[in-house]
Chains A and B, each alone.
Chain A
Amino acid sequence: MQNEVELTPEAAVRAVMRDILGLSEEQVAEFTAETELFGALPELDSMAVAGLLTELEDRLDIMIEDDEVDGELFETFGNLVAFAEMKVTE
């Protein structure tokens, strides 16, 4: 059995975005802090967001509460990474 490997929050967010949107590694590597998400990416509907939150919880071993989730969180890639980084240090 291979051992647990720690993922950085940014790497985890990038990997999950890649899986949801069906992008290549190169495409998702082009995401910057300013890349717009919700509204700009039609694939990112409420069902996809639900999967994204649970998958981040699972990959980063964090718990995200209802009241932490608002529209601003999904505005940009940078917001989402900053949130994930904040959660892992809690």
Chain B
Amino acid sequence: MTLSPAFVDYEFADRKELCLCAASASSRRVMIVPPLFDEMNRMRKMLVDVMRSLETMDIGSFLPDLPGSNESLIALEQITMSDWQNAVQACARQHEISHVASFRGGALVVAGMQTASHWIFSPVKGATILRTMMRTRVAADREAGLTTSLADLTAQAKTGSIELAGNILGSELFAQLNAAEIPDMKDQRIIRLESDGKPADAQIPGSALWLRAEPDDDPAMSKAIARDIAGWIGE
């Protein structure tokens, strides 16, 4: 029995990065660009369930490791936003992908792919992601008897690397994320949760797994996402 999804790779900056892949022989192929940092871990099972569901509809899917995350050999500290943007473009090129589904902060990473068709789930701006990570750091510092503020951390990140919620971010990545707004793509479909009041092309029932204290899945939501992606890609 062949295990699916399975790992393939893509080449970026003279290195290979891993990419989880399901139904690679299909002519319809979508790249799944994950959320960033801890949100990625909390949503990975859900994303893989989406890939398995897409496979049953004969749609191929590719979930690349972003350089500096997951099994990547390079340290996150050396990574910039442009690295992530160039990496996903390299992955799309090498695996002949025209459709891109990005989740949460993943939408910031696909901003440069103006010619692709985009399906975007609950996009978030970079400053919001950083705010949660900085608050986690502030809480950890408080437990250690230190008083830190969001302003202190922002100032510290201007001059060097900074540790936030277990991630070491270089100064450039921090600045780029802090400035990264949700992109407005030429061809896009924005999906949000039913509980989210912000404008969207469609809403999906489910819960915000990126907030969950422990990583969890939501099979019904994964199926709903896969069905919506399949309808969007078409025949």
| Nearest chain A residue, comparing its CB with the CB of B197 | A5
Q: How far is the CB of B104 from chain A (nearest CB, A)?
A: 11
A43 to B190, CA, bound (A): 30
A15 to B197, CA, bound (A): 11
Chain B contacts with A in 196-234, Cβ cutoff 8 A = 196-203, 207-214, 216
Residues of B contacting A21 with CB < 8 Å? Answer: 213
The answer to whether A7 and B212 touch across the interface, beta carbons within 8 angstroms, is no
Instruction: Determine if B107 is an interface residue (Cβ-Cβ < 8 Å).
Output: no
- Summed over the interface, the residue pairs from A and B with CB atoms below 8 Å come to a total of 82
* Chain A interface, number of residues (Cβ within 8 angstroms): 31
| Nearest chain B residue, comparing its CB with the CB of A20 | B211
SS class, residues of chain A in contact with chain B: helix
Given A2-B200, A2-B201, answer yes or no on A51-B143 (Cβ-Cβ < 8 Å): no
Number of chain B interface residues as a range:
35 or more
Instruction: Determine if A59 is an interface residue (Cβ-Cβ < 8 Å).
Output: yes
Residues of A contacting B151 with CB < 8 Å? Answer: 66
Contact of A51 among B132, B150, B196, B199 (CB under 8 A): B132
4 nearest interchain CB pairs?
A46-B139, A50-B135, A43-B213, A19-B208
- In the assembled complex, 26 residue pairs joining A and B whose CB atoms fall closer than 8 Å, in A order, are A1-B201, A2-B199, A2-B200, A2-B202, A4-B198, A7-B197, A19-B207, A20-B211, A22-B214, A46-B136, A46-B139, A46-B143, A47-B165, A47-B213, A50-B135, A50-B139, A50-B165, A53-B135, A54-B135, A57-B131, A58-B124, A58-B128, A59-B196, A59-B197, A66-B138, A66-B149
Known pairs A1-B201, A15-B195. 14 more at Cβ < 8 A? A4-B199, A7-B197, A18-B207, A19-B212, A20-B213, A21-B213, A22-B213, A43-B213, A43-B214, A46-B136, A46-B140, A50-B135, A50-B139, A66-B150
